[in-house]
Protein backbone atom coordinates (compact mmCIF):
# COMPACT_ATOMS: atom_id res chain seq x y z
CA UNK A 1 0.00 0.00 0.00
CA UNK A 2 1.15 3.48 -0.86
CA UNK A 3 1.32 5.45 2.43
CA UNK A 4 1.13 8.92 0.91
CA UNK A 5 -2.10 10.75 1.70
CA UNK A 6 -3.35 7.96 3.96
CA UNK A 7 -5.04 8.49 7.32
CA UNK A 8 -3.60 6.29 10.05
CA UNK A 9 -4.43 5.53 13.68
CA UNK A 10 -1.80 4.18 16.10
CA UNK A 11 -2.79 3.03 19.60
CA UNK A 12 -0.20 3.68 22.29
CA UNK A 13 1.33 6.01 19.75
CA UNK A 14 3.34 7.97 22.30
CA UNK A 15 5.36 4.87 23.31
CA UNK A 16 8.71 3.73 21.86
CA UNK A 17 7.62 1.74 18.79
CA UNK A 18 4.39 3.75 18.33
CA UNK A 19 6.12 7.11 18.09
CA UNK A 20 8.94 5.74 15.89
CA UNK A 21 6.22 4.47 13.55
CA UNK A 22 4.40 7.81 13.55
CA UNK A 23 7.61 9.66 12.60
CA UNK A 24 8.42 7.18 9.79
CA UNK A 25 4.88 7.34 8.41
CA UNK A 26 5.20 11.15 8.28
CA UNK A 27 8.32 10.89 6.13
CA UNK A 28 6.26 8.75 3.71
CA UNK A 29 3.68 11.51 3.25
CA UNK A 30 0.81 10.28 5.43
CA UNK A 31 -2.01 12.84 5.42
CA UNK A 32 -3.01 12.52 9.07
CA UNK A 33 -2.04 10.35 12.02
CA UNK A 34 -4.27 9.84 15.04
CA UNK A 35 -1.85 9.09 17.86
CA UNK A 36 -3.63 7.68 20.89
CA UNK A 37 -2.16 7.87 24.37
CA UNK A 38 -3.23 6.58 27.77
CA UNK A 39 -1.61 8.88 30.35
CA UNK A 40 -1.93 12.67 30.12
CA UNK A 41 1.34 13.05 32.03
CA UNK A 42 3.70 11.71 29.38
CA UNK A 43 2.08 13.08 26.24
CA UNK A 44 4.76 14.69 24.11
CA UNK A 45 3.64 14.80 20.52
CA UNK A 46 4.41 17.40 17.83
CA UNK A 47 1.23 18.63 16.12
CA UNK A 48 2.61 18.68 12.57
CA UNK A 49 5.60 16.88 11.05
CA UNK A 50 6.29 17.85 7.44
CA UNK A 51 2.92 17.84 5.70
CA UNK A 52 1.35 15.34 8.14
CA UNK A 53 -1.13 16.45 10.77
CA UNK A 54 -0.77 14.63 14.09
CA UNK A 55 -3.90 14.47 16.24
CA UNK A 56 -3.38 13.15 19.78
CA UNK A 57 -6.40 11.38 21.29
CA UNK A 58 -6.81 9.90 24.73
CA UNK A 59 -7.76 6.22 24.61
CA UNK A 60 -7.74 3.30 27.00
CA UNK A 61 -8.05 0.28 24.69
CA UNK A 62 -9.55 -1.82 27.49
CA UNK A 63 -12.66 0.39 27.57
CA UNK A 64 -15.13 -0.78 24.91
CA UNK A 65 -17.19 2.45 24.85
CA UNK A 66 -14.06 4.59 24.39
CA UNK A 67 -12.86 2.38 21.54
CA UNK A 68 -16.29 2.49 19.88
CA UNK A 69 -16.36 6.31 20.07
CA UNK A 70 -12.81 6.66 18.75
CA UNK A 71 -13.65 4.38 15.82
CA UNK A 72 -16.59 6.62 14.94
CA UNK A 73 -14.47 9.77 15.26
CA UNK A 74 -11.59 8.28 13.24
CA UNK A 75 -13.75 6.50 10.66
CA UNK A 76 -11.61 8.07 7.92
CA UNK A 77 -8.59 5.90 8.90
CA UNK A 78 -7.22 3.71 6.07
CA UNK A 79 -4.64 2.03 8.34
CA UNK A 80 -5.21 1.06 11.98
CA UNK A 81 -2.23 -0.05 14.04
CA UNK A 82 -2.84 -2.01 17.24
CA UNK A 83 0.37 -1.13 19.06
CA UNK A 84 -0.69 -0.44 22.70
CA UNK A 85 0.71 -3.06 25.03
CA UNK A 86 1.94 -3.86 28.53
CA UNK A 87 4.44 -6.38 29.87
CA UNK A 88 4.96 -7.05 33.59
CA UNK A 89 7.88 -9.53 33.47
CA UNK A 90 6.03 -12.33 35.28
CA UNK A 91 6.20 -16.10 35.22
CA UNK A 92 3.13 -18.18 36.00
CA UNK A 93 3.91 -18.71 39.72
CA UNK A 94 5.26 -15.28 40.72
CA UNK A 95 3.49 -13.52 43.60
CA UNK A 96 1.78 -10.96 41.32
CA UNK A 97 1.13 -13.37 38.45
CA UNK A 98 -2.68 -13.37 38.56
CA UNK A 99 -3.02 -9.59 38.46
CA UNK A 100 -0.25 -9.21 35.85
CA UNK A 101 -1.73 -11.89 33.60
CA UNK A 102 -5.18 -10.29 33.76
CA UNK A 103 -3.85 -6.84 32.88
CA UNK A 104 -1.69 -8.14 30.04
CA UNK A 105 -4.61 -10.10 28.61
CA UNK A 106 -6.90 -7.08 28.96
CA UNK A 107 -4.62 -4.67 27.11
CA UNK A 108 -2.73 -6.90 24.68
CA UNK A 109 -5.51 -9.29 23.69
CA UNK A 110 -8.91 -7.73 24.52
CA UNK A 111 -7.73 -4.21 23.61
CA UNK A 112 -6.57 -5.41 20.20
CA UNK A 113 -9.84 -7.30 19.74
CA UNK A 114 -11.97 -4.25 20.65
CA UNK A 115 -10.06 -1.92 18.31
CA UNK A 116 -10.21 -4.44 15.45
CA UNK A 117 -13.90 -5.14 16.01
CA UNK A 118 -15.01 -1.49 16.09
CA UNK A 119 -12.77 -0.27 13.25
CA UNK A 120 -13.33 -3.09 10.76
CA UNK A 121 -16.79 -1.92 9.59
CA UNK A 122 -15.19 1.43 8.64
CA UNK A 123 -12.09 -0.17 7.11
CA UNK A 124 -14.32 -2.37 4.96
CA UNK A 125 -15.76 0.78 3.34
CA UNK A 126 -12.36 1.94 2.02
CA UNK A 127 -11.05 0.95 -1.43
CA UNK A 128 -8.01 -0.56 0.32
CA UNK A 129 -7.37 -0.80 4.05
CA UNK A 130 -4.88 -2.28 6.47
CA UNK A 131 -5.13 -3.56 10.04
CA UNK A 132 -1.74 -4.04 11.71
CA UNK A 133 -1.28 -5.91 14.99
CA UNK A 134 2.04 -5.47 16.79
CA UNK A 135 2.60 -8.92 18.25
CA UNK A 136 5.90 -10.39 19.52
CA UNK A 137 8.14 -13.41 19.09
CA UNK A 138 6.61 -14.20 22.50
CA UNK A 139 3.39 -14.90 20.63
CA UNK A 140 4.82 -18.13 19.26
CA UNK A 141 7.77 -19.04 21.55
CA UNK A 142 7.75 -18.94 25.36
CA UNK A 143 10.31 -16.41 26.58
CA UNK A 144 11.82 -17.14 29.99
CA UNK A 145 10.33 -15.01 32.82
CA UNK A 146 7.84 -13.35 30.45
CA UNK A 147 5.32 -16.21 30.55
CA UNK A 148 2.11 -14.27 31.21
CA UNK A 149 3.03 -11.69 28.55
CA UNK A 150 3.75 -14.45 26.03
CA UNK A 151 0.35 -16.03 26.78
CA UNK A 152 -1.36 -12.72 26.00
CA UNK A 153 0.62 -12.30 22.78
CA UNK A 154 -0.09 -15.91 21.77
CA UNK A 155 -3.81 -15.17 22.18
CA UNK A 156 -3.36 -12.05 20.04
CA UNK A 157 -1.42 -14.07 17.43
CA UNK A 158 -4.46 -16.35 17.10
CA UNK A 159 -6.76 -13.32 17.03
CA UNK A 160 -4.69 -11.95 14.14
CA UNK A 161 -4.89 -15.20 12.20
CA UNK A 162 -8.64 -15.35 12.75
CA UNK A 163 -9.14 -11.75 11.64
CA UNK A 164 -7.08 -12.46 8.52
CA UNK A 165 -9.35 -15.39 7.77
CA UNK A 166 -12.46 -13.22 8.33
CA UNK A 167 -11.06 -10.58 5.95
CA UNK A 168 -9.93 -13.05 3.29
CA UNK A 169 -10.70 -11.92 -0.28
CA UNK A 170 -11.74 -8.48 0.96
CA UNK A 171 -10.24 -4.99 0.72
CA UNK A 172 -8.70 -5.33 4.21
CA UNK A 173 -5.21 -6.78 4.68
CA UNK A 174 -4.41 -8.01 8.19
CA UNK A 175 -0.72 -7.79 9.07
CA UNK A 176 0.99 -9.39 12.08
CA UNK A 177 4.34 -7.95 13.23
CA UNK A 178 6.58 -10.10 15.43
CA UNK A 179 9.45 -8.08 17.00
CA UNK A 180 12.18 -9.53 19.20
CA UNK A 181 13.68 -7.30 21.92
CA UNK A 182 13.33 -3.57 21.22
CA UNK A 183 14.87 -0.74 23.22
CA UNK A 184 11.80 1.02 24.72
CA UNK A 185 10.36 1.73 28.19
CA UNK A 186 8.87 -1.77 28.10
CA UNK A 187 12.29 -3.44 28.16
CA UNK A 188 14.20 -1.03 30.47
CA UNK A 189 14.67 -3.81 33.05
CA UNK A 190 15.69 -6.50 30.54
CA UNK A 191 19.44 -6.84 30.27
CA UNK A 192 19.54 -8.25 26.72
CA UNK A 193 20.60 -7.11 23.27
CA UNK A 194 17.91 -4.89 21.75
CA UNK A 195 17.27 -3.19 18.41
CA UNK A 196 16.05 0.41 18.05
CA UNK A 197 12.35 1.29 17.66
CA UNK A 198 13.32 3.24 14.50
CA UNK A 199 14.65 0.07 12.84
CA UNK A 200 11.40 -1.76 13.70
CA UNK A 201 9.39 1.11 12.22
CA UNK A 202 11.43 0.94 8.99
CA UNK A 203 10.69 -2.79 8.61
CA UNK A 204 6.98 -2.23 9.20
CA UNK A 205 6.92 0.56 6.60
CA UNK A 206 8.55 -1.82 4.11
CA UNK A 207 5.90 -4.42 4.99
CA UNK A 208 3.12 -1.89 4.34
CA UNK A 209 4.62 -0.89 1.00
CA UNK A 210 4.96 -4.56 -0.02
CA UNK A 211 1.45 -5.55 1.18
CA UNK A 212 2.98 -8.14 3.53
CA UNK A 213 0.71 -10.08 5.89
CA UNK A 214 3.56 -11.08 8.22
CA UNK A 215 6.57 -9.00 9.23
CA UNK A 216 9.64 -10.25 11.12
CA UNK A 217 11.28 -6.88 11.74
CA UNK A 218 14.65 -7.85 13.26
CA UNK A 219 17.31 -10.57 13.22
CA UNK A 220 15.97 -12.35 16.31
CA UNK A 221 12.48 -12.70 14.87
CA UNK A 222 13.81 -13.57 11.43
CA UNK A 223 15.69 -16.49 12.96
CA UNK A 224 12.42 -17.83 14.37
CA UNK A 225 10.15 -17.20 11.39
CA UNK A 226 9.92 -20.82 10.22
CA UNK A 227 7.85 -21.57 13.33
CA UNK A 228 5.18 -19.12 12.21
CA UNK A 229 5.18 -20.26 8.59
CA UNK A 230 4.85 -23.89 9.70
CA UNK A 231 1.92 -22.97 11.97
CA UNK A 232 0.29 -20.99 9.13
CA UNK A 233 0.73 -23.82 6.65
CA UNK A 234 -1.11 -26.21 8.99
CA UNK A 235 -3.85 -23.61 9.55
CA UNK A 236 -4.29 -23.19 5.77
CA UNK A 237 -4.54 -26.99 5.35
CA UNK A 238 -7.14 -27.29 8.10
CA UNK A 239 -9.29 -24.44 6.80
CA UNK A 240 -9.10 -25.09 3.06
Ligand X SMILES: NC(=O)c1ccc[n+]([C@@H]2O[C@H](COP(=O)([O-])OP(=O)(O)OC[C@H]3O[C@@H](n4cnc5c(N)ncnc54)[C@H](OP(=O)(O)O)[C@@H]3O)[C@@H](O)[C@H]2O)c1
- Which residues contact ligand X by CB under 6 A? 11-12, 14-18, 37-39, 42, 59-62, 83-87, 107, 111, 134, 136, 179, 181-182, 184-187
Closest approach of Cβ 172 to ligand X, in Å?
A: 20
Closest approach of Cβ 135 to ligand X, in Å?
A: 7
Q: What whole-number distance in Å separates Cα of residue 231 and Cα of residue 113?
A: 21
Nearest CA among 158, 134, 156, 153 for reference residue 143: 153
Q: What whole-number distance in Å separates Cα of residue 36 and Cα of residue 111?
A: 13
CB-nearest residue to ligand X: 15
Q: What whole-number distance in Å separates Cα of residue 139 and Cα of residue 155?
A: 7
Q: Which is nearer to ligand X, 52 or 83 (CB)?
A: 83
What share of residues in the chain are helix, strand, coil (percent, to 5)? Answer: 45, 15, 40
Q: What whole-number distance in Å separates Cα of residue 240 and Cα of residue 228?
A: 18
Q: Which is nearer to ligand X, 111 or 176 (CB)?
A: 111
Q: Which is nearer to ligand X, 123 or 186 (CB)?
A: 186
Q: Which is nearer to ligand X, 55 or 128 (CB)?
A: 55
Closest approach of Cβ 167 to ligand X, in Å?
A: 21
Q: Which is nearer to ligand X, 83 or 173 (CB)?
A: 83
Closest approach of Cβ 205 to ligand X, in Å?
A: 15
Buried/exposed 147-178: b ≥16 CB within 10 Å, e otherwise: bbbbbbbbbbbebbbebbeebeeeebbbbbbb
Closest approach of Cβ 230 to ligand X, in Å?
A: 20
Amino acid sequence: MDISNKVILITGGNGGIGWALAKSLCTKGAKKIYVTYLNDGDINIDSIIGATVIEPLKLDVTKKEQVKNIALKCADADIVINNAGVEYATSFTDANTLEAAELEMKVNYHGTHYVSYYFLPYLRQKPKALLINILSIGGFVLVNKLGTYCASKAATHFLTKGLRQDCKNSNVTVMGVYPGYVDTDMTTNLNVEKVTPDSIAESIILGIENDSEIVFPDIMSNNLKDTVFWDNAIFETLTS
